[in-house]
Homo-oligomer: A and B are copies of this chain.
Amino acid sequence: MSGFYADRQAAAPVRPEVLEAMLPFFAENFGNPQSLHSAGQRAARALQAAREQVARLINCLPEEIIFVSSGSEANNLAIKGLALASQARGKQIIISAIEHVSVIRAARFLEKLGFKTVQVPVDGYGLVDPGKVAEAINADTVLVSVMMANNEVGTIEPVAEIARFCRSKGVIFHSDAVAAAGNIPVDVRALGLEAMSLAADQFGGPKGAAALYLKKGTKITPLVDGGVQENNRRAGTENVPAIVGLGRAAELARLEMDNKVRRLTLLRDRLIRGALTGVDEVVLTGHPEKRLPHHASFCVKFIEGEAMLLGLDLNGIQVASGSACTSRSLRTSHVLTAMGLDPAVAQGSLVLTLLDGTGEEQVDYFLEKFPPVVRRLREMSPLYTRYLEERKDVHR
């Protein structure tokens, strides 16, 4: 038992098959896909193959894929690029209250250019109500963006329904599927999406490669202007090895999807059950069923997330937290806040995201180490002491 890495949302090892596919493109097939000579054309073919692999994963055309460098860039390109390209039609955009910061801050940038952003609230599970999105749409709305699945609480949003509303009102719909794509089946045609972000490092691919799916014919203003790469929509020499890795990871994700989802769901539920029964005063965050198969998230009352994270790390267990103290900006996760969690409770946020290779024995190892870590921190918590006293008073 060498430990348990359960922070796959933040980072995961590149799969060996993916790294193997990438390796030849560093020093041997190093060409620039824009070069007309043979070295360049070899790279161009590899790029095209990767484009096809990604397209197959999400059921779109290869030319509907724009390669970018990160999920955040995909989201910025989508939000800024789609809004700027449509500003003649209107200046309102609608996002949910639990979008990734790259969506929220991109929208904030647009506000400086005269756009207006409406944030649609979520319920206690982090679910967006499609009806509320429909209500928020008005004649000035040009873009709606609601994520496919939330990275902090794992909740899977009803994007197909939201997309339907948007379509009926002629509004472009983008979904941030960075946490979802490669981990749950995603079919952009069936879902009716105009645009969708995904990132390789969320499903066994490398950092530095991500993509925006953009439905053919949808206008977009580039974020990175310059050369003709990515069909004039994203300039800059293509990161061929990383894109090749993204392609291979997409192919593997597609082939293994069903098995993986089934296996991880069982494991996740074992983890959730064990954590909720192993320690008192722990709450599950996010939806119990409509959630990513690899995602388990909690709030542990009376203690703070960063301390828990450090305590677990000393036991070889790596997790994440949305507490104020874990963030560099010292703010509680806006997701937990938007879900209406008591701010003090939200400080005890704990997020576990399982690797494909995670086994039962690792989950059980966590379930063994989790209670003592919590106990130690609670013993030194003034809030826990107060809670115990109040409970004593009640029972007296």
Given A38-B313, A73-B69, A224-B76: A207 touches B238 (CB 8 Å cut-off) = yes
Contact A19 B27 (CB under 8 A): yes
Contact B40 A236 (CB under 8 A): no
Given A36-B309, A239-B69: A31 touches B11 (CB 8 Å cut-off) = yes
Does any Cβ of B come within 8 Å of A30's Cβ? yes
Contact B236 A106 (CB under 8 A): no
Does any Cβ of B come within 8 Å of A286's Cβ? no
Residue of B nearest to A327 (CB): B228
Does any Cβ of B come within 8 Å of A34's Cβ? yes
Residue of B nearest to A239 (CB): B208
Interface residues in A1-56 by Cβ distance below 8 A to B read 5, 7, 10-16, 19, 22, 26-28, 30-32, 34-40, 43
Contact B11 A16 (CB under 8 A): no
Contact B39 A7 (CB under 8 A): yes
Q: How many copies does the complex hold?
A: 2
Number of A residues whose C-beta is below 8 Å from B? 76
Q: How far is the CB of A6 from chain B (nearest CB, A)?
A: 10
Interface residues in A229-286 by Cβ distance below 8 A to B read 235-242
Instruction: Determine the chain B residues whose CB is within 8 A of the CB of A70 once the complex forms.
Output: 69, 224, 235-237, 239
Q: Which of B35, B309, B310 contacts A11 (CB 8 A)?
A: B35
Most chain B CB neighbours (cut-off 10 Å) among A12, A31, A225, A242: A225
Residue of B nearest to A199 (CB): B237
Q: List 6 A-B contacts (CB under 8 A).
A: A12-B30, A16-B27, A69-B69, A70-B239, A102-B226, A207-B242
